[in-house]
Amino acid sequence: DFTQPAGLLTKVARTFVSRCLVGDNGITYKYLGLRMFAYPWNATDDSTENEVDSVFKEIGELNQQLIAHTEKLLHSELPTPPPGVSHGSCRFNLTLINRCFPPSALALKEEPMFGTDQCTVSWHADSSLEHYSSIAVYHCTKPAGFPLEADNDFTEEATTDLKKKKRKRSEETDQHNGQQWRVALRVAPDSEGPASQKAAASRHSSSADLPPPVAVSLPNEWSYFLLDEFNHHHQHSVLAGDSDRYASTHRVSRSEGHTFHYIHKRCCNTLQQKLNVSGKGIRSEQLVLMELEFEWIRQFFVQGRKHYVLHKWWHQPMKELMSCWVKLENRTGIALQALCDAGNGDLSSSSSSTSSSISISCGLNSKSMKKRKANAAAVDDKAYDEMIAALEERVVKREGWLARYVDPLLLKQKEEIQPLDIPTKEHFQPPLLTIQPFLKEILNNGDGNEENNALCEQVLQVTTLKATIERVKRWKNSFTARK
């Protein structure tokens, strides 16, 4: 994965681990500045199911078995919670499958807490999860020439002979491997959870009073569980063994902010509401628009052509989100026209000079002067400040994404994983690859409005945004002087 741990306008970093996300339809998982889009494990169209889909379904079945086993552990291994309190959830809605490589395949960094041991995953607590939720990890290794087999140790029907056979094969595999993979654990109070931000400042100063870290060997085809609040108060890292390692890490991810249903509903709710050009209304709508662009659309296309081709389930959802984006940008144009009209004061004269005073096509209904006057009348003092702040934030973020697209590390990679252009008629970033034409139909034919197309093309331009900010500032001065 190519991540930006320190955020936009910083260097892109390549992880030592290859990852794949599988989970509920439309779910995502964000880490180190990268949003991963899940392959669905519960696809419903059996008529088109292929071999890959059946594998994802098997992973979904494994997930159900891990849920059942985790529930048993929560009741058998943890104290009974007080009345009215329950253990955290273990209804895992996704798994992040990690493929780790041995030191012979990659130049890994040493973990100083364990001498010369090398790690593939540095110290961390898993993030973006429901508070107090458990984590289950199924781990297997694959040395060269030693095929993996699947067993099921979580059902009641698993026999003693089967367990012995599995344990014997696991021991043989580990002997073949040489150095076993290990998970390292250390106490780190409030690394995640409700109090994590408050504890961050004092964590370093109190680390000397904490017990030393430990490292636990991971035999082949075993599982381990981080129950309830364990992830909140501990960090873990993975120390490399002599083989390839696959780890399916099952989690309860937060739904708010991380599912297609969430962002699509948020966009639709905004589009169904009457445009509000007060300061509060402008800020609310611009927040939705920026979340859609920077947390979803750009996150999807930045991962390249191979990612796009493989994630077929996401084609239609992304098409719907692109359509919402065009419509929200169109509403931004209407809001800008209202700010212009209110600043100029004379709507009848400003209507004839709109094209010279605003460089963004607003997609207005020119026959409805009454509606336009109502919008101008609803503008308040804070509307200009909120629009300026929103546009300035967009400029910073778009410049950050531009820099990400041409990061030297990304440009060295194969063409299939270099960032894709956002599907507009004219690209504002250096052309790297062109997206498949079906998404362009949103702009050409999506709602039959050519003004929307022109707006989407122009509003993407960073230079256009900067010029628009200066115009809004002038309109604000005129509005204030008239009052």
pLDDT tens profile 31-59:
889 999 999 998 665 545 677 888 999 99
* Six token digits for residue 206: 């109190």
Instruction: Give the model's pLDDT for residue 144.
Output: 46
Give residue 344's pLDDT.
Answer: 87
What do you get for the CA distance between the two ends of the chain, in Å?
Answer: 54
Q: How far apart are CA 383 and CA 336, in angstroms?
A: 10
Question: What pLDDT sits at residue 155?
Answer: 41
Quick one: pLDDT at residue 145? 45
**Can you give the pLDDT at residue 110?**
83
- pLDDT at position 297, please? 94
Q: Where do the H-state alpha helices sit in 15-50?
A: none
CA angle 276, 298, 445 (to 5 degrees): 70
> If 0-12 CB within 10 Å is exposed, 13-18 middle and 19+ buried, where does residue 111 land?
buried
Q: How many helices (H) and strands (E) are present in the chain, helices listed first?
A: 17, 15
CA 434, CA 422: separation in Å to the nearest integer? 8
Give the max Cα distance, the chain. 89
pLDDT, residue 97, reads 96
Question: What pTM was computed for the model?
Answer: 0.82
Q: How far apart are CA 26 and CA 313, in angstroms?
A: 8
86 contacts 229 by C-beta, under 8 angstroms: no
Contact 23, 253 (CB under 8 A): yes
Question: In angstroms, rounded to a whole number, what is the distance separating the alpha carbons of residues 176 and 69?
Answer: 29
Q: Which residues of the chain are modeled with pLDDT < 70?
A: 43-49, 143-178, 196-208, 346-367, 424-461
What DSSP string describes 299-366? HHHTTHHHHHHH-GGGHHHHHHHHHHHHHHHHHHHHHHHHHHHHHH--HHHHGGGHHHH--S-----T
Q: What is the pLDDT of residue 108?
A: 86
Containing H/E element for 124? strand 118-124
R_g of the chain, CA atoms, integer Å:
27
Helix, strand, coil share of the chain (percent; to 5):
50, 15, 35
